[in-house]
């Protein structure tokens, strides 16, 4: 007898979106849920065998659509975290990630928030910034999660971007840090961070003031209306 798990994998590998959607409602949901680790492993292996890394070779549209539909059976988090074939902390397909974030419930947001730092540690900047914007409520037409990224959370992401600097692309790291610094300013979170530093509740990382110095003079002048910055800035 053909199991529901086998059916999921067969439709995925064939890229048969219509067939999957017809059969989906007749599948044994309990079986699919209980076999989610196996399903994730098999799909990860298929992606690896087909050299689909979502950088040099993109995820085909039919497979993306099936993964979105599959997420209603096994949840969005397993697909986000466990299906991508390489080292990345989150599935490296921006379109898929956006769709899964919109389907996700608030209960899973904390898990995703906890992955953003790792995205920046491993130079997964495109997905990292997508997640940052989503959790700052900056994505038009997207779900507005109850768990919004905090000032300290955004600072921690800034720090994570340069954590493995010696292993990553220096220019990309510098650009990511500057973009995150501009986000700290745009959100007003920079004031929270400078307050914590002033009262010795936070020790800034080495690149914090160096990146702050790269902001425009006008931007720095606005910050200095409220905070005294070091002479090097």
In terms of C-beta distances under 8 Å and separation of at least 24 residues, what long-range contacts does 171-177 make, across chains too? Answer: 172/123, 172/125, 173/123, 174/211, 176/120, 176/125, 176/128, 176/129, 177/207, 177/211
CA distance linking residue 137 with residue 228, whole number of Å: 30
Q: Quote the pTM value.
A: 0.92
Cβ atoms 83, 45 nearer than 8 A: no
Mean residue pLDDT of the chain comes to: 92
Confidence of residue 233 (pLDDT cuts 50, 70, 90): low
Predicted confidence (pLDDT) at residue 170 exceeds the cutoff of 70: yes
* Residue 102 resides in a domain: no
Count of C-beta atoms within a 10 Å radius of residue 15: 15
Residues 148-159: tens digit of each pLDDT: 999 999 999 999
Number of domains making up the chain? 1
- Domain that includes residue 218, residue range: 154-233
* Residue 205 resides in a domain: yes
Residues 19-76: tens digit of each pLDDT: 999 999 999 999 999 999 999 999 999 999 999 999 899 999 999 999 999 999 999 9
CA distance linking residue 95 with residue 77, whole number of Å: 15
Q: What percent of the chain shows pLDDT beyond 70?
A: 95
* Residue 167 resides in a domain: yes
* Residue 42 resides in a domain: no
* Residue 174 resides in a domain: yes
* Residue 133 resides in a domain: no
All residues at 6 or more sequence positions from 141 whose CB lies less than 8 Å from its CB, including other chains: none
* Residue 197 resides in a domain: yes
């Amino acid at each position: 007898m053909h199991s529901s798990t086998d059916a999921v994998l067969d439709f995925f590998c064939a890229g048969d979106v219509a067939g999957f959607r017809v059969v989906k409602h007749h599948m044994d949901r309990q079986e699919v849920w209980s076999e989610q680790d196996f399903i994730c492993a098999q799909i990860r292996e298929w992606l690896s065998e087909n050299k689909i890394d979502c950088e040099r070779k993109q995820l085909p549209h039919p497979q993306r659509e099936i993964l979105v539909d599959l997420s209603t059976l096994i949840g969005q988090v397993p697909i986000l975290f466990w299906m991508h074939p390489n080292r990345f902390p989150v599935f490296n397909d921006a379109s898929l990630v956006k769709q899964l974030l919109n389907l996700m419930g608030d209960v899973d947001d904390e898990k995703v928030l906890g992955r953003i730092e790792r995205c920046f540690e491993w130079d997964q900047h495109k997905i990292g910034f997508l997640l940052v914007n989503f959790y700052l409520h900056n994505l038009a037409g997207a779900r507005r999660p109850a768990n919004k990224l905090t000032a300290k959370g955004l600072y921690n992401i800034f720090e994570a971007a340069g954590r493995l600097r010696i292993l990553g692309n220096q220019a990309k790291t510098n650009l990511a840090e500057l973009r995150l610094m501009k986000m700290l300013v745009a959100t007003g979170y920079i004031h929270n961070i400078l307050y914590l530093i002033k009262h010795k509740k936070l020790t800034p990382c080495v690149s914090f003031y160096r990146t702050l110095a790269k902001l425009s003079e006008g931007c720095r002048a606005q910050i200095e209306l409220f905070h005294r910055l070091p002479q090097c800035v």
